[in-house]
Every structure is written in structure tokens, then in C-alpha cells.
Amino acid sequence: MGIFQRFARIPLKSTYIWSLCRQYSTDLTAVDRALIQHRNPGAAPPRLPFSRVTQEDLAFFRTLLPGRTITDPDLLKSSNVDWLKTVEGNSEVLLRPKTTEEVSQILRYCNERNLAVCPQGGNTGLVGGSVPVFDEIILSTSLMKQVITFDNISGILTCQAGCVLENLSNYLEERDFIMPLDLGAKGSCHIGGNVSTNAGGLRLLRYGSLRGTVLGLEVVLADGRILNCLATLRKDNTGYDLKQLFIGSEGTLGVITAVSILCPRKPKAVNVAFLGCSSFQQLLETFQCCRGMLGEILSAFEFLDASCMSLLEKHLKLTNPITESPFYIVIETAGSNATHDEEKLHKFLEEVMTSSLVTDGTVATEATKIKALWSLRERVTEALTHEGYTYKYDISLPVEKIYDLVQDMRGHLGDMAKNVVGYGHVGDGNLHLNITSPSKDPALLAAIEPYVYEWTSKWKGSISAEHGLGLKKRNYIYYSKPSEAVALMGSIKAMLDPKGILNPYKTLPDNIH
């Protein structure tokens, strides 16, 4: 009798339940310190002296993009505000090009006229990077949604930047492949936006970051030049790897118009285990054991704490499938042989349960059950939005430190915060620390920041692991990067976008122009 049966409490068809810094802050110059200590460094700086959109400009755009130059304020509303509804711009023009050539003409024109541009994908970002701050023209990739080529021998997909991640996943699954990244926002986010922000997501542990899986990019530079680096080669050491400049630079150096990306084969067998642990230490030991015993079939190791679970139950009416625990883990295996994978998983589960690292759990092998278990991790962000205002922190730390920050923060804030919750990507050492309050609360914010950034810097962490800096985090960059590196970023920006028209007020701090 296998471990599934032995511990089966509710033996559903395929679901089984058992009982069971570098301290960069020391490098800061006086001006950097002043900037960070400014009362609200995440707030918008003053508008830079860009031109205002005129009737002549609109006439140009309407000729170039007939029916795709949007000026109706009602239609513009959702593009002016971010998904979290925390940042709102005041753009009066939304452009919807379909081709790279159109993007090139838009940027050439805007650069000559000194008009600022905010590139926008699915607008699912969490740091205010994808919406205008003032009246920047919104350049949306929503109509750039063609798959260009897919090679089913190499697994290399080339597509336009506006393809929705989930559509690409469905396209590939029909061909027995998958996208190397997956994230909660998959139904809306665009691949171009994913690449621009270097989105991490739920599969990074297995397939690595976009810095490795993106093989080529086509980018339109600020002056309209088209940079065709759309290589479809696994190996290419000819000169500098320019595409890396555009991955993660949040549309400040160029507009990504097409992407080629290396896609893995669709795994033949997928299992998801949802487990409970009574301490974070036990969770870490489970992770170590899991890496050792599951090896190459491990595709995700995610966690959420009990506070996250309460919010999922309260706001989304999701049901906790196991006994209440202080911590929950989502483990996914993806492999090519169901029997082999199940055997490995059984052995691992037997080990963590007999050694009492895990107190309870359930496993799913069937698609709808897998989806339901993943919802418990993927929908935490959504559940938090029902709590009022959420202060969000996306921190990389040595994995053994990630939950210490949550606990420290709870002690530090006392009852000032409504909730202090932790969840994230254990396998990547990436914590999502979220702090809620009924509404925006400057006193609470002052208690969180710069405390959270100093804490992160002290442990040599990153203040933005996978969400980018956008508008909200730009002035905190010095906690994770030395002044020399930030200055060099400023020089690169000045070289590629001398007038600063591309996504102004984002990514770089206010003292770099």
C-alpha cells in the first residue's frame, strides 16, 4: 500500500488528504540620503518640461493609427489607473499600434516633439510602472498579439509583445510545450510587459529567469530606431548582450515590440501537494528535503502563512483543504513519467510526515484539483485588495531570513497595522511582505519605511526581487545598488533616451536625469 492510501482521509479520485545588504546604505552620498529621507519618496516628483499634446499631434496620430488613437476620457480611464488603484495618471491619449513600424513612427514623432510616452502592456504591475504619472501618451501593446513563429524542434517561440501570457500558454500546450514562466496575472499580463519587468513568477525555480529564457528581442528605441535582436539561437556570444538592457528596465530604455523565448516541453505528469507546517524552520527543512528527494521533477516550492489563508477564506470564500497550520506550502512536480514522479513524491511525503516536518497535506494530480490548490497561493494578492490599503514589499533575502522580516515587522508595528502577512517564492528566496490598513495611513507608512529597506539592506537583500521599481520604489534603489551602479544606469539612460521621453519618473531615482 502506498503512502497516498495509507494516509488517505478523503480519497477523492486523484486527491489524497493525509492526517498528519551587502550594506550599500553605507555608500550613500548626502544627496542620496536626503532623497531617501524625503517624507514620501514613492510619491510623484514635479512634472518634467515635456511638450503638451496639441491638436496637430492628435491629427498626426489619427492619420497614423485611424480608429486606434483613443481620446475619449471614459475609454482612457482604465489605462490611466494601475491594477491596485493606487496610482493614477492623467493621460489624454492612448495609442494602439499593431506593428513595430507604427511604434517606430510614434516614437520618432514623440522624440522630435519632446512628448513623454508611457509604454503599457496588461497593466498588472504592482509598483506604478505601467501607468502615466502626468499626461504621458499611453502606448499600449494590446493589439500587438500575433504569434510570429514557433519551432517545435527547438521549442523557440517568437511573438509580438502584446500576446497575453495565458494565450501563449494555451497556444503552446496545444503543441505539447509550455511557457517557461507562469504568474497569477497570466490572464491579463502581456509577454512584453513580463520581459520589461523581468517578471519571476511561479516556475522560476525550475526554468530560471527571463534573463536566461529570452533569446532575442525586438525593441524600438526612443528616437524610433528599430533594434532587431530577435535571435532564435541558444548560443550567441557576438559582442555585448544588448537584450539584457531591456529586460527589467521597465520601458525606460526602449519599447519591446517582439520577443523570442525558449519554451520547455509540456510535462507528461504534474502533481501538486499542499502541505501544512507548524514553524518556518520546519518549512525550510521541508524545502531542503524536497530539493534532495524530488530533484529534477521539482517545479515550484511556494508558501503562504496562516494570515494569508484567513484572508482567502474571508474574502474569496476559498476553503482550506487541510488542518489549520501556521504555514502552508505548495509543491509542484512536473516530469515525464507519472509512475516515477509519483514514486518520488510518495517517498518524499513519507519522509516529511514521519519526521513530523509536515503536519497535514493533500495532493492533486488532476487538472481542476491542481488549479484549486494553486488558487490558494495565486489569489492571495487579490484577497488582500479587499482589506483596504495594502503596503507591498517584494524582497529577496537569504532564504533562511525571509520570515524573520515578517515577524520583526509584526513586533515593530504592533497594532498600527491591520494585517502583516508573508507569502512568496521560497525556492527563489523571495518574500512578499504585505501590510494592510483600512485606508492609506501616513503614520503607518512612516513606521514601515525606511525600516523595511534598512532591514533588507542589512541582510544584503534586494528591495525589489521581481516587481521592478516603477514609480513607487525608484528612490529606494540605493538600498540595493551602489551609487556608482545607479550613476552608470543614468548614463545608459541618457545615451539611449537623451530627452528622457520613455516612461519618465520610473525606475531611476529623482536625482538621476
Ligand X SMILES: O=C(O)CC[C@@H](O)C(=O)O
Residue closest to 126 by CA, chosen among 182, 36, 189: 189
C-beta nearest to ligand X: residue:
381
Whether the CB-CB separation of 432 and 423 falls below 8 Å is answered with yes
299 makes contact with ligand X (CB under 6 A):
no
Please give the grid coordinates belonging to residue 360: 497535514
- By C-beta, is 126 or 256 nearer to ligand X? 126
- By C-beta, is 211 or 513 nearer to ligand X? 211
- By C-beta, is 53 or 126 nearer to ligand X? 126
Whether the CB-CB separation of 436 and 417 falls below 8 Å is answered with yes
Shortest distance in whole angstroms from residue 423 CB to ligand X: 7
Residue keyed to cell 478523503? 10
* Ranges of H-type helices in 295-441: 306-316, 338-354, 367-378, 380-385, 402-413
432 makes contact with ligand X (CB under 6 A):
yes
Residues numbered 155-194 forming contacts with ligand X, rule: CB under 6 A: 184
Name the strand (E) or helix (H) holding 148.
Answer: strand 147-151
Paired sense of beta strands 94-95 and 137-140, if any: parallel
Residues numbered 335-394 forming contacts with ligand X, rule: CB under 6 A: 381, 392, 394
Handedness of CA 445, 451, 457, 460 (dihedral sign): negative
Shortest distance in whole angstroms from residue 421 CB to ligand X: 9
Shortest distance in whole angstroms from residue 385 CB to ligand X: 9
Among residues 79, 196, 271, 434, the one that binds ligand X under rule CB under 6 A:
434
Shortest distance in whole angstroms from residue 122 CB to ligand X: 14
Shortest distance in whole angstroms from residue 382 CB to ligand X: 9
- By C-beta, is 57 or 305 nearer to ligand X? 305
Shortest distance in whole angstroms from residue 474 CB to ligand X: 18
Residues numbered 225-254 forming contacts with ligand X, rule: CB under 6 A: none
Residues numbered 411-430 forming contacts with ligand X, rule: CB under 6 A: none
Among residues 35, 94, 95, 126, the one that binds ligand X under rule CB under 6 A:
126
Shortest distance in whole angstroms from residue 419 CB to ligand X: 13
Residues numbered 106-125 forming contacts with ligand X, rule: CB under 6 A: none
- By C-beta, is 97 or 121 nearer to ligand X? 121
Whether the CB-CB separation of 344 and 293 falls below 8 Å is answered with yes
Paired sense of beta strands 327-335 and 269-277, if any: antiparallel
- By C-beta, is 126 or 420 nearer to ligand X? 126
Number of H helices, E strands in the chain: 19, 17
- By C-beta, is 126 or 290 nearer to ligand X? 126
Q: CA–CA separation, 142 vs 120, rounded Å?
A: 8
In a 10 Å sphere around its CB, with 0-12 CB exposed, 13-18 middle and 19+ buried, how is residue 28 labelled?
A: middle
- By C-beta, is 342 or 394 nearer to ligand X? 394
Shortest distance in whole angstroms from residue 434 CB to ligand X: 5
Give the end-to-end CA distance of the chain in Å, rounded to a whole number.
67
Q: How many residues of this chain interact with ligand X, rule: CB under 6 A?
A: 7
Shortest distance in whole angstroms from residue 30 CB to ligand X: 33
472 makes contact with ligand X (CB under 6 A):
no
- By C-beta, is 14 or 385 nearer to ligand X? 385
366 three-state secondary structure: coil
Buried-exposed string 154-190: b where 16+ CB fall within 10 A, e elsewhere: ebbbbbbbbbbbbbbbebbeeeebbbbbbbbbbeebb
Q: Name the residues that contact ligand X, by CB under 6 A.
A: 126, 184, 381, 392, 394, 432, 434
